[in-house]
Amino acid sequence: MSELVSIITPMYNSEKFIESTLNSVQSQTYQNWEMFVIDDCSNDNGPNIVKKISIEDERIELIIQKNNSGPSHIRNIGIGLAKGRYLAFLDSDDIWHEEKLDRQIKFMQNNKYAFTFTGYDKINEVGDKIGIVMPYKEQVSYHDLLKSNHIGCLTAMLDLKLIGEKKYMPHIKKRQDHGLWLEVLKRVGKAYCLNEILAQYRIRKGSISINKINNIKYQWTLYRKIEELNIIKSLYYMAFYTYYGIRKYSNLN
């Protein structure tokens, strides 16, 4: 029997996109999954859309928060509820290719990898392709990841059996996924790239991930407060982070 995959989806005001996100999961060639959609006090029709679909598909569970608490807390709720061997993340406006789970799980099982990721396309709000992110490292260590977050959250998959225990995201506004990857790598050593495009990451107007100046601020917080690096090491890794950031965004097309 195939192993269960737990999918964590935080949601906030995603009524325009959430149905496509859910459909991309329901269309997976790998069908043994559970999906937790955790709504962070949306004020649009997103929760009703999820509720209607979840009535028809019991693998999808809607959880509505009473207070807005941010993506790290929301994702950690999902991690806590997860019953699967495998853990995957998909935001409420992103999309998976239909063979994403199938191909990635086979990649992990065939090689006994605990932590993997893939490439992905960038799309705009109407679904037009505007770029591509293909990781340029096949293996990523803890120190590699301090230099740059090579792992797109929508592509990451963790084997909780091989990791040995659940790990949770740090409570910071941004870079919480980066913090989780670093924590996992302290335990398993490396993450491995399946060199294929298997997902679509949507760029939305006003997205908190597109402000590059603020990103630097939160990256510094990750180094100093979460990883507790000294100033010299933080400056060292920040130089690499800036370099890789320029390289990444200059090659989107």
The dihedrals phi and psi of 49, each to the nearest 5 degrees, come to: -65, -45
Q: What is the pLDDT of residue 9?
A: 98
**Average pLDDT over every residue of 233-237:** 96
Separation in Å, CA 142 to CA 16, 79, 186: 37, 22, 7
pLDDT: which is higher, 106 or 244: 106
**Per-residue pLDDT reduced to its tens digit, 101-118:** 999 999 999 999 999 999
Show the DSSP H helices in the chain as ranges.
Answer: 18-26, 46-56, 71-81, 100-111, 142-147, 160-163, 176-188, 212-221, 231-250
Tally: H helices and E strands in the chain: 9, 10
Q: What is the pLDDT of residue 27?
A: 98
Give the whole-angstrom CA distance, residue 84 versus residue 160: 8
Q: What is the pLDDT of residue 208?
A: 47
**Per-residue pLDDT reduced to its tens digit, 198-217:** 999 999 876 545 556 678 88
Give the whole-angstrom CA distance, residue 140 versus residue 146: 10
Lowest mean pLDDT among 63-77, 142-156, 239-253: 239-253
Give the single-character DSSP code of 186: H
Q: What is the pLDDT of residue 252?
A: 46
Lowest mean pLDDT among 33-37, 86-90, 93-97, 219-223: 219-223
Give the whole-angstrom CA distance, residue 113 versus residue 190: 9
What is the pTM (predicted TM-score) of this model?
0.92
Residues 246 and 212: beta-carbon distance below 8 Å: no
pLDDT: which is higher, 197 or 215: 197
**Per-residue pLDDT reduced to its tens digit, 60-69:** 999 999 998 8
Residues 6+ apart with CB under 8 A from 230: none
Give the whole-angstrom CA distance, residue 176 versus residue 227: 12
Partners of residue 55 on adjacent β-strands: none
**Average pLDDT over every residue of 181-203:** 97
- Residue 111, both tokens: 């090689």
**Per-residue pLDDT reduced to its tens digit, 115-159:** 999 999 999 999 999 999 998 889 999 999 999 998 999 999 999
Give the whole-angstrom CA distance, residue 87 versus residue 79: 8
- Residue 92, both tokens: 């409420």
Burial (Cβ within 10 Å: 0-12, 13-18, ≥19) of residue 231: exposed
DSSP 30-63: ---EEEEEEE-S--SSHHHHHHHHHHH-TTEEEE
* Domain range 5-207, CATH architecture: Alpha-Beta Complex (3.90)
Mean confidence (pLDDT) of the chain:
93
* Domain spans, the chain: 5-207
The dihedrals phi and psi of 95, each to the nearest 5 degrees, come to: -140, 140
